[in-house]
Amino acid sequence: MTVISKIESIKRGHGSPERPLAGELWAADSLPDFPAHHEEGNYDPTYEKVDYARYYDRDYAKQEHERIWLKSWVQACREEDLPAIGDRLPLQVGPVSFFLVRTGADSFKAFYNSCIHRGTMLCMKHESGDAIRCPFHAWEFKLDGSLQYVPSHWDFKMVTPKNGALREVKLGRWGGFLFINADPEAPPLDDVLGVIPKHFAAFDLANRYTAGHFRKTVKANWKLTQEAFMESYHVVGTHSAAIPFSGDTQSQYDIYESGEAHIGRQLTPGGHPSMHAAPEVTPAESILGAAQFLRDMHHPDAELPELDLSQPVRPQVAAWFRGLESARLGRPCTLPDGIMLDSPLYFMFPQTSVWLSEALPFAYSFLPHESDPELSYMEVRILKHWPEDEARPEPAERIDVAADEVVFDKAPVFGFLGMVFDQDFENLPKVQGGVRSADPARHYAQLGDYQEFVIKRFHELLDEKMAG
Ligand code: FES
Ligand SMILES: [Fe+2]
């Protein structure tokens, strides 16, 4: 990949010989012939100060709707959410609703959720049927959006098949996800995915099912919510119990720029003590903690691995986890250690994040509230392979977690990670209140040189797009 701009003087993480940086761990991994392992970012963002007004200002939110939300590829749902031909699902993007339809065994379409007659919304929830019928005056549309029936057609001679069809928006597919883009001039989805398809090829997201799913309403702007998941710098402050098991300071941050594609990545070693952890925490203790987590989360009946402490412990736990996954799936799991143990999280502008991690096989989607810039939604899915000889499992139902509810109670399938999400969500209303309360004479966030790379690039891109 061509290097666009890298700054020599930046210190890229803080590690030690005993607690190496993520990149050093990945270089030493078994099965290292994996593009994500050796392809680093090619651009260093320099944005430093984020004006707080963009987190609450209604004019900013209005412009953001026009310039970002109606012009970007927005993750809508998974193909498995629409299993049968005729299935439909609405997607609310700020004030505008769309809906997606499965039109065939392997085809989908997306439309503005607005009747051609007098605007009634045509899809309010997951529903199915051969025709899309408006509840108001019963105009009917075929699944491909064409107009099928108008009661008293003698009164609507001006309505033709051409001007009476539902208004379509672009739809793109990747890895089992459906994306929409309301901009007819938008580049194809493939052009904005950048390194993601290559890095995720062997991870095979298309052949995963939703094993857990929640949507949380957050009392914070969608950007603040998303930014809480764009760095590991907050681990020491917010998830301090993770410090012995999560190499936050040794994380690698990458920005991959190519044409229309803007991809960010944070790569945090798992089962690896942080530089913030007490000096006596050993790599063996740390990796055993990770093994316990992997067992509880993925293989509750498994025995913990017996480690040979005279040898490096990380590959032993990765091999143990690969063995459990191979047995569960009925085929060999051949992903490298870093994918089995660490937390590589990829971000695609403006609202999609996907983990390239068998330990944390999650996907995130962030959306603004219908009308209030100080509220947002975050959707989280667990995406898992299923055993080779079994039919694709039904996707888990989405659990809606209200602003004052906690994930740990409402979505037990997330286990103790529900609590970790709750720690993040507990911060966010405080951040929202604080950005509003800052002295007008010092009204900005101060981003660090390296660990907030992904946030820095996010705001550079926002500025570019907002400037039109
Ligand atoms: S508004 Fe849809 S048929 Fe009248
Ligand atoms: Fe967090």
Global pTM reads 0.97
State pLDDT tens for residues 395-431: 999 999 999 999 999 999 999 999 999 999 999 999 9
Token pair 């607690």 is found at: 19
Task: State which residues of the chain have pLDDT below 50.
Answer: none
Rounded to the nearest angstrom, the distance between the alpha carbon of 53 and the centre of ligand 2 is 24
| Helix extents (H) in 167-249 | 189-193, 196-200, 222-227, 235-238
Nearest ligand by distance to the CA of 423: 2
pLDDT at 4: 87
Q: Which residues pair with 181 in a beta bridge?
A: 170
The finding on whether 215 has its CB within 6 A of some atom of ligand 1 is no
pLDDT at 30: 76
* Cβ neighbours for 468, distance < 8 A, ≥ 6 positions apart: 67
The finding on whether 416 has its CB within 6 A of some atom of ligand 1 is no
What are the Cα distances from residue 192, in Å, to 94, 177, 347, 352? 22, 14, 11, 12
The finding on whether 139 has its CB within 6 A of some atom of ligand 1 is yes
Q: Which residues pair with 139 in a beta bridge?
A: none
pLDDT at 354: 98
Quote the CA–CA distance of 374 and 390 in Å, as a whole number. 44
pLDDT at 311: 94
Quote the CA–CA distance of 140 and 130 in Å, as a whole number. 10
pLDDT at 37: 87
- Provide the b/e sequence for 206-242 (b: ≥16 CB within 10 Å): eebbbbbbbbbbbbbbbbbbbbbbbbbbbbbeebeeb
Tell me the pLDDT of the chain averaged across its residues.
97
Rounded to the nearest angstrom, the distance between the alpha carbon of 204 and the centre of ligand 1 is 42
Structure tokens, 152: 């008293």
Quote the CA–CA distance of 103 and 82 in Å, as a whole number. 10
The finding on whether 407 has its CB within 6 A of some atom of ligand 1 is no
Beta strands in 105-258 (DSSP E): 107-112, 131-133, 140-142, 147-149, 168-174, 177-181, 209-218, 252-258
H or E element at residue 77: strand 74-78
Q: Which of 362, 2, 417, 1 is nearest to 205 (CA)?
A: 362
Beta strands in 269-375 (DSSP E): 343-348, 352-355, 362-368
What are the Cα distances from residue 74, in Å, to 179, 185, 188, 225? 5, 15, 12, 16
State pLDDT tens for residues 285-305: 999 999 999 999 999 999 999
**Closest ligand 1 atom to 134 CA:** 2
Structure tokens, 174: 């990747």
- Protein residue with least CA distance to atom 3, ligand 1: 137
Taking a C-beta distance cutoff of 8 angstroms, is the pair 75, 365 a contact?
yes
Rounded to the nearest angstrom, the distance between the alpha carbon of 422 and the centre of ligand 2 is 9
The finding on whether 136 has its CB within 6 A of some atom of ligand 1 is yes
pLDDT at 139: 98
**For 28, phi and psi rounded to 5 degrees?**
-95, 0
